Amino acid sequence: MQVAAESRVTWDSQKPRELREREESEVMENKGVKEKTMEDGVAAMAACYAGFDPAAYLQYNYTAPRADFTRRDSIVPWKLGCLHRAFTEGDISGGLLVDVGSGPTLYQVLSGCEIFERLVLTDFLEVNRRELKRWLQDQGKSSLDWTPYLQHVCKLEGRGALAWSEKASRLRAVVSDVLPIDVHRPQPLAPGALPSPGADCLVSCFCLESVSPDLDAFTRALGHIGGLLRPKGHLILIGALGESFYQGGPGVQIPVVPLDEAQVCSSLKQNGFTLMRLEVYVLPDDMRVGVDDVSGIFFVKARKE
């Protein structure tokens, strides 16, 4: 084997200079084409969000039947239950929780806000950041009444529904920033946005698969946000299974990377995460309300090594 390797090196070194330069140029050209294709795909995804309507999105996905708190098999109560368990098992702790790609929603941090002293919300779209700020600043202009969500999580915590106003005050107190983010950049947040060790925990719900043109881009984006997390920090990831599109507003159809559980696990492993728990929710027929073609939802709890 050693002789063969040495022979290959010798043969390569004896190639005509023009041939070597042409081959090197072709490699660089192919790399450039691949990078340009990736950039074009990401840009096309960003263009899809130009007409995103937070109020319509919330109406489609965060009202009954998908947010029916009287049903155990409704999507939103299932997600809130997973989040509650993840944050109350005793292994997640620290000072800083970052929500990656918050969208116009708050449900994903209602359990975590009790654990952390500082919480950072993020989103690529200004319209979503503005929606979040309206609720946080208590301007009474939020597009969705989050009271039933607050009440449900309080019940899960054994506090009773009447404690919801305390939880709302707690959430408003610990959110320190609502920041722009681009998960397709190696450094998704502006320099200095987080302390140098990174966040103690990340939450990301329905973000990466819905802003990535393909599986490779999803995996890269997962690696990028992993850079925001300190070693041994935790990742809570919720996303769609088998989904190819969803409605982001009237007439606004946004493509999604159709994922399965194996692909999610592989992407986590490639980016240095250890899977701690994977749960899957399969949509009942009456939850398929025509605003997407999702077949299921995954919940992941993982640790960065």
Q: pLDDT tens digit string along 6-56?
A: 444 444 556 667 666 665 655 455 545 445 545 665 777 788 899 999 999
Q: What is the pLDDT of residues 109-155, one digit of tens each?
A: 999 999 999 999 999 999 999 999 999 998 667 899 999 999 999 99
Q: What is the pLDDT of residues 235-294, one digit of tens each?
A: 999 999 999 999 999 999 999 999 999 999 999 999 999 999 999 999 999 999 999 999
Contact 181, 100 (CB under 8 A): yes
Does 73 share its domain with 104? yes
Task: Give, in degrees to the nearest 5, the angle at Cα 231 between 230 and 232.
Answer: 110
Residue 70 has pLDDT above 80, yes or no: yes
Does 44 share its domain with 66? no
Q: What is the pLDDT of residues 183-198, one digit of tens each?
A: 999 999 999 999 999 9
Structural domain containing residue 193:
52-304
d(CA 106, CA 121) in angstroms, rounded, equals 9
pLDDT of residue 9: 45
Q: What is the pLDDT of residues 80-110, one digit of tens each?
A: 999 999 999 999 999 999 999 999 999 999 9
Q: What is the pLDDT of residues 160-190, one digit of tens each?
A: 878 999 999 999 999 999 999 999 999 999 9
Does 21 share its domain with 86? no
Does 81 share its domain with 32? no
pLDDT of residue 7: 44
Cα–Cα distances (Å) from 223 to 162, 210, 219, in that order, read 40, 16, 6
Q: How many domains does the chain have?
A: 2
**Closest-CA residue to 200 (of 107, 272, 88, 117):** 117
Does 118 share its domain with 179? yes
Does 8 share its domain with 68? no
Contact 205, 122 (CB under 8 A): no
- Euclidean distance between the first and the last CA atom of the chain, given in angstroms as a whole number: 36
Contact 181, 214 (CB under 8 A): no
Q: What is the mean pLDDT of residues 63-77?
A: 96
- What is the CATH classification number for the domain harbouring 300? 3.40.50.150
- The pTM of the full predicted model, rounded to 2 decimals, is 0.86
